[in-house]
Amino acid sequence: MKHSTRLTRSRVIGGIGALAATAIVLTGCSSGGSSDSTDSAASGDLTPVSLQLQWFSQAQFAGYYAALDQGFYEDEGLDVTILEGATDIVPIDVLTGGDADYAISWVPKVLGSIEQGAAVTDVAQIFERSGTTQISMKDKNITSAADLKGKTVGSWGYGNEWELFAGMNKAGVKLDDISLVAQAFDMNGFLAGDIDAAQAMTYNEYAQVLETKNPSTGKLFTPDELNVIDWNTEGTAMLQDAIWADSDRLADDSAYADTTVKFIKASIKGWAYARDNAEDAAKIVTASGSQLGESHQLWMTNEVNKLIWPSTSGVGTINQDQWDQTVKIAMDTPNETGATVISEEPPATAFSNEYVEKALSELKDEGVDVMGEGFTPIDVTLKEGGE
């Protein structure tokens, strides 16, 4: 009895020891890749600032990565950490939770949060145009929202559907007239023919199709083989990527308000850099850890530039007419359950041009082109798989 007890203990302890050793070895291996924060300057003079993105690092956020890489934030005295998004991370929740100082998000998605009590302010409307489209194969003959009637229409949902619904609404197509399909990350449903008209961002999914071989020709799909419904021309575009700040802190904390101006200023400088140096900007994003292929990344940089430049009133300015259109669609367009994004006008604090105007005037004094009137997109050739 005594003997067996001792054996028991030593075995158990041995077992636990082996376990612990394995765990330690494994964690030791893992510690290398876990840090996604940027190297923070050791200097104590810089103000630490964190920015929450909507998704993984990709050229959709090229301007912020460029500003970081080129030292524009540091020039303004900011030590910026870029936090990546993920499937279940809601940027506005991170912002209101106090875990980020600024967040990037689409306006219609945030309007709903504001109505539910989130105190956030759109301080710079970086994307002036919408990148959302509905694409279809040429032979389906879908060139406008009215043509969607009777078709299978794809959407990602989660707040990505409003421009589509508003466009259909405007064209007199009811939700019962189409068969709405939930779309996945990839375009396989569209390519397989399950979806007649699929949702596609100009900078991402549209390119994914162009990176795929058409089985009937053996060559990559070309823009000639596709029809595109662009919500900008259909008149139901909604405002997308904007920089959001915490409304309460803007009101009470003058240091935060100053930081906001600096942050916007350096970010716009970053976007100007991405406009003038699209290829370098794409490389900066890739170096930040994005897994997208080289030609896809460059395509995305170029398409995102088109959403910003040329700018109507200086990049970042929230144009009243576009804001009103976004709010109106958010209030008037019901989804398949009859719900709208918001039921009443958002509060006056929902957007403010105060900070971006200060940033723009400082940039103009420094000779930075914030209008981009002469902007011409580059030509990007997509390769198979985006490589």
Q: Footprint of other proteins on this chain (CB under 8 A)?
A: 1, 4-5, 7-9, 11-12, 14-15, 18-20, 22-23, 26-30, 32-36, 56, 84-90, 93-94, 97, 99, 184-188, 191-192, 204, 208-209, 211-212, 215, 283, 286-287, 289-294, 296-297, 384-387
State in angstroms the smallest separation of the CB of 177 from other proteins. Answer: 19
With respect to other proteins, which residue has the nearer C-beta, 1 or 348? Answer: 1
Q: Which two tokens stand for residue 350?
A: 């929902």
Rounded to the nearest whole angstrom, what is the least distance from the CB of residue 25 to other proteins in the complex? 8
Between 86 and 378, name the residue whose CB sits nearer to other proteins.
86
Nearest to 119 by CA among 357, 316, 348, 359: 348
Q: Are 265 and 359 in contact (CB under 8 A)?
A: yes
Half-sphere CA count of 124, side-chain side, radius 13 A: 28
Q: How far is CA 74 from the centre of its chain?
A: 23
Q: How far is the CB of 181 from other proteins (least distance, A)?
A: 13
Q: What are phi and psi of 242, to 5 degrees?
A: -135, 160
Closest by CA to 163, choosing from 238, 110, 229, is 238
Residues making up the chain, counted from first to last:
387
Q: Least distance from C-beta 32 to other proteins, angstroms?
A: 8
Work out how close the CB of 192 gets to other proteins at its nearest, in angstroms, rounded to a whole number: 6
With respect to other proteins, which residue has the nearer C-beta, 86 or 251?
86
The conformation of residue 42, written as its DSSP 8-state character, comes to: S
Least distance (Å) between residue 11 CB and other proteins: 6
Task: Considering the complex, state which of residue 155 and residue 204 has its C-beta at the smaller distance from other proteins.
Answer: 204
Q: Which of 237/281 has CB closer to other proteins?
A: 281
- Tell me whether residue 286 or residue 311 sits nearer to other proteins (CB atom): 286
> Residue 350: phi, psi to the nearest 5?
-65, -30
Buried b (16+ CB within 10 A) or exposed e, 363-387: beeeeebbebeeeeeeebebeeebe
Cβ–Cβ under 8 Å, residues 377 and 305: yes
